[in-house]
Amino acid sequence: MLKSLLKLIGSGDYRTPQELAEVLGTSAPLVEQMIAQLANSGYLTVAEMCSEGCEHCGLASACQARPGNLRLWMLTAKGMRACL
């Protein structure tokens, strides 16, 4: 299930642990635990945030990365190799 989760995160089609959980047929808390495990193992990293700040960004209203919103994860090189 970890490899399936990596592939879903890598696809960029899902935004919340709940959405990921629905696709995987499990619970959001379990998905959050798996994400933590994958991050601790070097398969995922937190995506870098904009350096400008949201108040000056023209995409702020559509961005999921605003403070207080979701943490954005991305695959590391190790994560990408695992998805092959």
Q: Which pLDDT value is given to residue 42?
A: 97
Each residue's pLDDT, cut to its tens digit, for the chain (84 residues) gives 999 999 999 988 877 889 999 999 999 999 999 999 999 999 998 876 665 566 666 666 666 555 555 567 889 999 999 998
Q: Which pLDDT value is given to residue 38?
A: 96
Reduce the DSSP state of residue 30 to 3 states and report it. helix
- Positive or negative, the CA dihedral 13, 15, 17, 19 is negative
Sort 35 into a burial class: Cβ within 10 Å, 0-12 / 13-18 / 19+.
buried
Domains of the chain: 2-82 (1.10.10.10)
Residues with Cβ within 8 Å of 29's Cβ and at least 6 positions away in sequence, in order, are 17
Cα R_g (the chain), whole angstroms: 14
| Residue in this structure with the two tokens 């959050």, named with its chain if needed | 32
Q: Which pLDDT value is given to residue 43?
A: 97
